[in-house]
Amino acid sequence: LSLEQYHKIKPANSHYVSIVLPIAVPKLYTYIVPEELVESIQFGIRVEVQLGRSKLYAGLIIDIHHQVPEDHTPKPILSIIDQHPIVYPEQFKLWQWIAHYYSCSIGEVMNAALPSGLKLSSETKVILSPMYDPNLQGLDDKEFMICEALSIQNELSTSDIQKILNQKTVYPLMQRMINKKIIYLKEELKEKYTPKIVVCVRLQEPYISNPELLQEAFDKLSRSTRQVEALMAYVQLSRTQKVIRRAELGKKANVDSSVLKAMVKKEIFEFYDKEISRIGVYEDDLKDTFDLSAQQETALTELRTHFQDKNVALLHGVTGSGKTRVYIELIQEAIQKGEQVLYLLPEIALTGQIVARLQKIFGNDIAVFHSRLNNHERVEIWKKVFSGQSIVMGVRSSLFLPFKNLKLIIVDEEHDTSFKQFDPAPRYNARDSAIYLAHLHQAKVVLGTATPSIETYYNAQQKKYALVEMKERFGGIQMPEIIIVDAKDEWKKRKLQSHFTTVLLDELSAALERGEQAILFQNRRGYAPTLNCKNCGWSKQCKNCDVSLTFHKFSHNLRCHYCGYQSQLPTACPSCGERDLNLKGFGTEKIEDELKIYLPDANIGRMDFDTVKGKNAHATIINAFEEKRIDILVGTQMVTKGLDFDNVGIVGVLSADHLLQFPDFRSTERAFQLITQVSGRAGRKFKRGKVIIQSFNTTHPVLKEVLNNNFSGFFHRELEERLDFNYPPFNRLIKIVLKHKKPELLNHGAKLFSQILKDRMGKRVIGPAVPGIPRVRGQYLLVMMIKLEKNPKKIKTAKEIILKATQFMKAQKGFSTIRVNVDVDPQ
């Protein structure tokens, strides 16, 4: 239908809808609503639409109007997917805010926001024509192969055909076959969500209403011992639970399903299907009984008072001060009023103790939303929140759940960098987005941490946020004693034993003798970063990224941490033939091994990215440590977060220097946070703990500030530095990364791009510069940074300039394939 034809025949006063599609296209699309569907359309429902020639999508309606499209013929909505909205207007406002603030498309936000179970897309499938005759002449080899496959498999997807023919481009061939009417397209939307169904068993009438008649049933079965056992098992199970699964009953009575089937025939049992939750439910309803400390009471009162005129409060409480207890009180107040609460946590902190603790108190009022949930579980939580689930504990993406009466958001470990998503877009910060979400819902926000981020503390100082402090540990336990050990000095005196100072080793063995446990923190994983040739210094590089491969002892191979590329160990140096290859650097795995030499009697465990990969691996290690099957836990960042153990006498930081050496304006801040957090694991609940920090450069001011637990000193010194170099919190940063697989082309494009930015924004633009790792996954990178004054208008203009510059550069011949990533407020 041409545009003119359409305008001639278009019905008067038709309904049109604006639709968001879950893809990275920058704009919304307008579809026409067929007369028969007009009644069913509303904001926030998904509809099936066609985009392009064959793709079908589930798009979201976000506007309904009568404005006739001027420049194109609208396609019709094909069908209605939802009877009721799946997205509220508040949610959509959050999406819009994120898209604007973080410079990405609304479709990208939709992609991140909806669980994939709610995002439908078509897979082009083809079927064989019923008229097809295997003896038909005139087919070439490839066509024949497809027909053969189709006569066996019934239908094939585009990717199936690609595999069968072992070639990428199959569409022309498919089109040809369609034209010849050998095959047909089969387009269908598949609903990915199917509730989990289990078969359950219950008694039939009359037994169900008259349990006293059960004796008769037993008599009736007396000839079959197995059936009697099954009935007995049923009676036992029914005392403690309402729903009895067939499999469970079979297992308990040790009978197979044929026995149960026979009992169905005898009209004692019947089977029925039940839709069950995939989310673990917590039955125990124990209550946290101990009283609040005076400090906690004060903090609560202060928070309540501040919330009368401020919407955001920073709760700055030292490790072990009992912030969680304060949250619990606030949550309790909220749910008593029937309000919803969102408790945001960094991914890694979510996996265990804190969840268990809150579940103990709030039981099934809490839904837990983390990244290891599968699609079905995500959709289930989505639906639960929609129907009013009162508390959600979750990672950054739980921000997008369909709250309708959200009144309190807690962002725990507010400083944590994992609240910021950096790839893919939307590159949003969940802490900052949470504050906007709270604004939409008229909710209050508590930002809790022992080590506030510079930005947040600055906001509190500027009175933008309220500030509540808890300076003492719960139960009057002292802050740990911190000892800074000069590793350089020991090295000079030849006392240093591999990576351990004598101070650390002595303290460790003393602690073990006292029956205490220890945590050692090392900020690197793997055995040794590189395998080097002793003769010429050669090391094996990744073929996709410009980094040396890392040696992994467990799998005994070399790996790239950036793209996952793996390679065998070379037996000799390929460059000079030298057979002596050396391990350089040290990681958690090596620490674990070497510690075994110095402390042979200790049970040593390791917790890092490699050992917590399995679904329950993380919990298993924590349990082993809790049950004291591990004496010393060696780990990366993971050991710093959200773990509460009551028998840790010693915490060791193996090398503070590694943390301070990063070429990044946040490295001091991160070092302070990490060391303070890991120190906080020492001596909680039990007695005063000890922290040993090893360093080759003991004069660094941050170490002294950590030593004295001097947050304020650290903050002011850091603030001055940030002011000198125009960094946040005084300025705002936008980071732009350009990527392409051809370095020369990338350089030229970046030059053009940066020139446009510099013409408009002058010296605020820094770069383009080659980053520390110049190539990742086969793509060369160039980085630009823009330092902007905190002026909303200027920031808005800057984002527009970036968008225009991107469009301009991409319009030039050859540059269209350069990828541009914009990261607002990078971490």
Partner DNA sequence: AGCACGCCGACT
Partner DNA sequence: GTCGGCGTGCTC
Considering beta carbons, is residue 151 or 816 the nearer one to DNA?
Answer: 816
Minimum CB separation of residue 565 from DNA in Å reads: 20
- DSSP bridge pairs for 521: 635, 653
Q: Give the phi and the psi of residue 759 in degrees, each rounded to 5.
A: -60, -35
Considering beta carbons, is residue 174 or 344 the nearer one to DNA?
Answer: 174
Q: Which helix (H) or strand (E) holds 22?
A: none
Per DSSP, the three-state class of 295 is helix
Considering beta carbons, is residue 160 or 718 the nearer one to DNA?
Answer: 160
Burial of 462 (0-12, 13-18, 19+ CB in 10 A): exposed
Per DSSP, the three-state class of 722 is helix
Stretch that binds DNA, among 26-34, 199-207, 337-345, 409-417 (CB under 7 A): 26-34
Q: Does 242 engage in binding with DNA (CB under 7 A)?
A: no
Minimum CB separation of residue 742 from DNA in Å reads: 7
Minimum CB separation of residue 111 from DNA in Å reads: 9
DSSP assignment of 169-238 equals --HHHHHHHHHTTSEEEE---------EEEEEEEEPTTTTT-GGGHHHHHHHHTT-HHHHHHHHHHHHHH
Q: Does 171 engage in binding with DNA (CB under 7 A)?
A: yes
R_g over Cα of the chain: 31
From CA 330, how far away is CA 339, in angstroms rounded? 11
Q: Does 29 engage in binding with DNA (CB under 7 A)?
A: yes
- DSSP bridge pairs for 634: 520, 606
Q: Which helix (H) or strand (E) holds 288?
A: none
Q: HSE on the CB side for 455, CA within 13 Å?
A: 21
Binding map of DNA across residues 325-344, x = CB under 7 A, - = no contact: --------------------
Minimum CB separation of residue 178 from DNA in Å reads: 10
Pick the binder of DNA from 6, 14, 15, 30 (CB under 7 A). 30
HEC sequence for 229-256: HHHHHHHHHHHHCCCEEHHHHHHHHCCC
Considering beta carbons, is residue 122 or 517 the nearer one to DNA?
Answer: 122
The string over 52-80, giving b where at least 16 C-beta atoms fall within 10 Å of a residue's C-beta and e elsewhere, is eeeebbbbbbbeeeeeebeeeebeebbeb
Pick the binder of DNA from 1, 3, 7, 27 (CB under 7 A). 27
Minimum CB separation of residue 818 from DNA in Å reads: 8
DSSP E strand boundaries for 355-405: 366-369, 391-394
Q: Binding to DNA (CB under 7 A): which residues in 119-158? A: 121, 124, 158
Q: HSE on the CB side for 640, CA within 13 Å?
A: 25
From CA 26, how far away is CA 591, in angstroms rounded? 49
Considering beta carbons, is residue 153 or 807 the nearer one to DNA?
Answer: 807
From CA 630, how far away is CA 600, in angstroms rounded? 13
Residues 446, 313: contact at Cβ < 8 Å? yes
From CA 174, how far away is CA 179, in angstroms rounded? 9
Give the total of residues touching DNA (CB under 7 A): 35
Q: Binding to DNA (CB under 7 A): which residues in 780-819? A: 811, 813-817
Binding map of DNA across residues 97-126, x = CB under 7 A, - = no contact: ------------------------x--x--
Minimum CB separation of residue 417 from DNA in Å reads: 25
Return the amino acid letter for 563: C
Considering beta carbons, is residue 113 or 654 the nearer one to DNA?
Answer: 113
Return the amino acid letter for 625: F
Considering beta carbons, is residue 31 or 419 the nearer one to DNA?
Answer: 31
Considering beta carbons, is residue 728 or 749 the nearer one to DNA?
Answer: 749
Stretch that binds DNA, among 25-33, 329-337, 560-568, 670-678 (CB under 7 A): 25-33
Minimum CB separation of residue 76 from DNA in Å reads: 7
Q: Binding to DNA (CB under 7 A): which residues in 32-91? A: 32, 49-55, 69, 71-75
Question: CA 261, 265, 271 angle in degrees (round to 5)?
Answer: 55
Minimum CB separation of residue 801 from DNA in Å reads: 21
Considering beta carbons, is residue 24 or 213 the nearer one to DNA?
Answer: 24
Considering beta carbons, is residue 144 or 272 the nearer one to DNA?
Answer: 144
Considering beta carbons, is residue 115 or 683 the nearer one to DNA?
Answer: 115
List the alpha helices (DSSP H) in 762-827.
792-811
Minimum CB separation of residue 756 from DNA in Å reads: 18
Minimum CB separation of residue 693 from DNA in Å reads: 45
Considering beta carbons, is residue 51 or 547 the nearer one to DNA?
Answer: 51
Considering beta carbons, is residue 75 or 499 the nearer one to DNA?
Answer: 75
Q: Does 773 engage in binding with DNA (CB under 7 A)?
A: no
**Strands ordered across the beta sheet of 125-128:** 155-157, 125-128, 183-186
Considering beta carbons, is residue 1 or 572 the nearer one to DNA?
Answer: 1
Minimum CB separation of residue 6 from DNA in Å reads: 11
Binding map of DNA across residues 532-571, x = CB under 7 A, - = no contact: ----------------------------------------
DSSP state for residue 638 in the 8-state scheme: G
Minimum CB separation of residue 610 from DNA in Å reads: 30
Minimum CB separation of residue 105 from DNA in Å reads: 8
Structure tokens that stand for 323 in this block: 């912030």
Pick the binder of DNA from 1, 3, 24, 247 (CB under 7 A). 24
Q: Does 620 engage in binding with DNA (CB under 7 A)?
A: no
Residue numbers at the binding site for DNA (CB under 7 A): 23-25, 27, 29-32, 49-55, 69, 71-75, 121, 124, 158, 167-169, 171, 175, 811, 813-817
